[in-house]
């Protein structure tokens, strides 16, 4: 395969590289965020017991950005790119270009590492080239980050941070509505991942309202569609009702939007309209009241780390009820033949 074709494939699959970085980043962020949140309970204590929680929290929240950069680079150029990506990620933090600098830096150093391994070198140097090559890719991208893309990205991150901190109730409500629309439209797909990534990146800016908004509406689609089956059972097949009865507890425990997919799949347009409406309602309320979450956990554990638990429960309930009423109304004016669908399911 030619270099041009390989390069094209690398950049065509940028979404894959980004998701790889995020998937390796999240465990570190979850461990650090969870332990850091628990450490709050012992903030008045100087004991070594609480110190362990604080240290783990600091490590997780400090290094989740470099880990993301390392594994974005790894996705592009395999194992030799991990160390360059990690170093570039730390450099991005130290030059204040933060999450965006680490993301772009990880992409660049991954591709640079890929390129340096394509260089044809004398046979006598080949055995040591594997150790030396990442040094060149790291240095090349480090200079690009520090002198070229770092300063404008640092300015952009500072501007975004200042803007998020300056948002009042109406601004946060608008942000919540937009995030809710993205979060409710594709059940954990690219749009949902975009807004959740933004919420996670905002943590690096010490802004926790976006994460609070995301956590508030993440279970609105499944809980709303589940509740709808209890409100109007006649609109749903036996399989859908059975799934709803067996899934609501798991939804509360795990907190995944994807749990809604089996209920939404057979009537995707009406279900999506309803879940978007519900998530917009929840996101708007959570944003208006500046709901914050200090650790990116899901399900039951996150309940203990909201700054305003009543706002969380109120906004979640409003969104769930909105989704349930909206989807049942849309189904009531549709020509969905439940008996026919059930026969088809039995044949399958």
More confident of the two residues 328 and 190: 328
pLDDT tens column, 228-242: 999 999 989 888 899
Q: Tally the domains of the chain.
A: 2
Residues 267 and 216: their CA atoms lie apart, in Å, by: 25
Which of 106, 137, 165 is at the close of a domain? 165
Quick one: pLDDT band at residue 345, thresholds 50, 70, 90? low
Domain around 317: 167-347
Q: Which long-range contacts (CB under 8 A, 24 or more apart) does 85-90 make?
A: 85/109, 85/110, 87/138, 87/142, 88/138, 88/141, 88/142, 88/145, 89/65, 90/66
Do both 29 and 103 map to the same domain?
yes
Which of 165, 189, 223 is at the close of a domain? 165
DSSP secondary structure code for residue 80 in this structure:
G
Quick one: pLDDT band at residue 347, thresholds 50, 70, 90? low
Q: What is the pLDDT of residue 338?
A: 72
Q: What is the pLDDT of residue 308?
A: 93
DSSP secondary structure code for residue 205 in this structure:
T
Quick one: pLDDT band at residue 40, thresholds 50, 70, 90? confident
C-beta of residue 141 within 8 angstroms of C-beta of residue 105 = yes
Do both 161 and 171 map to the same domain?
no
pLDDT tens column, 258-274: 889 888 888 889 999 99
Quick one: pLDDT band at residue 313, thresholds 50, 70, 90? very high
| Residue 120 CB coordination number (10 Å) | 5
Token pair for 249: 């507890």
Is residue 153 exposed (0-12), middle (13-18) or buried (19+ Cβ within 10 Å)?
A: buried
Do both 243 and 318 map to the same domain?
yes
Do both 194 and 248 map to the same domain?
yes
Do both 27 and 114 map to the same domain?
yes
Do both 151 and 195 map to the same domain?
no
pLDDT tens column, 85-102: 999 999 998 988 888 889
Do both 117 and 195 map to the same domain?
no
What does pTM read for this prediction? Answer: 0.74
> Cα separations (Å) of 317 from 38, 208, 285, 322, 345?
26, 21, 11, 8, 32
Do both 141 and 288 map to the same domain?
no
Q: What is the pLDDT of residue 104?
A: 92
Do both 326 and 195 map to the same domain?
yes
What value, to the nearest 5°, has the Cα angle with vertex 174 and ends 168 and 176?
100
Do both 18 and 63 map to the same domain?
yes
Do both 97 and 221 map to the same domain?
no
Quick one: pLDDT band at residue 46, thresholds 50, 70, 90? confident
Which of 165, 190, 224 is at the close of a domain? 165
Do both 156 and 211 map to the same domain?
no
């Amino acid at each position: 395969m030619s270099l041009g074709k390989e390069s094209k494939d690398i950049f065509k699959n940028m979404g894959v590289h980004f998701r790889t970085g995020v998937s390796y980043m999240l465990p570190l962020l979850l461990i650090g965020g969870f332990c850091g949140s628990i450490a709050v309970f012992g903030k008045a204590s100087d004991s070594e017991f609480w110190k362990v929680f604080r240290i783990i929290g600091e490590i997780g929240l400090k290094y989740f950005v470099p880990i993301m950069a390392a594994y974005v680079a790894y996705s592009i150029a395999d194992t030799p790119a991990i160390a360059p990506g990690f170093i570039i990620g730390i450099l991005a933090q130290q030059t204040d270009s933060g999450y965006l600098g680490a993301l772009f830096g990880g992409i660049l150093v991954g591709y640079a590492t890929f390129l340096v391994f394509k260089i044809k070198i004398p046979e006598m140097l080949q055995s040591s080239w594997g150790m030396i090559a990442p040094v060149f890719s790291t240095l090349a991208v480090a200079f690009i980050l520090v002198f070229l893309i770092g300063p404008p990205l640092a300015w952009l991150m500072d501007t975004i941070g200042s803007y998020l901190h300056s948002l009042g109730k109406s601004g946060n409500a608008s942000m919540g509505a937009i995030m809710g629309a993205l979060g409710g439209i594709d059940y954990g797909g690219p749009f949902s991942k975009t807004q959740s990534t933004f919420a996670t990146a905002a943590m690096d800016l010490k802004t926790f309202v976006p994460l609070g908004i995301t956590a508030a509406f993440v279970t609105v689609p499944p809980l709303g569609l589940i509740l709808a089956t209890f409100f109007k059972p006649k609109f749903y097949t036996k399989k859908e009702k059975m799934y709803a009865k067996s899934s609501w507890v798991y939804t509360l425990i795990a907190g995944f939007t994807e749990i809604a997919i089996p209920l939404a799949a057979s009537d995707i347009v009406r279900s999506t309209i309803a879940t978007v409406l519900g998530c917009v309602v929840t996101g708007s309320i959570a944003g208006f009241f500046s709901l914050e979450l200090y650790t990116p956990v899901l399900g039951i554990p996150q309940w203990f780390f909201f700054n305003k638990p009543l706002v969380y429960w109120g906004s979640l309930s409003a969104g769930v009820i909105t989704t349930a009423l909206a989807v049942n109304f849309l189904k009531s004016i549709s020509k969905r033949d439940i008996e026919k669908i059930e026969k088809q399911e039995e044949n399958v």
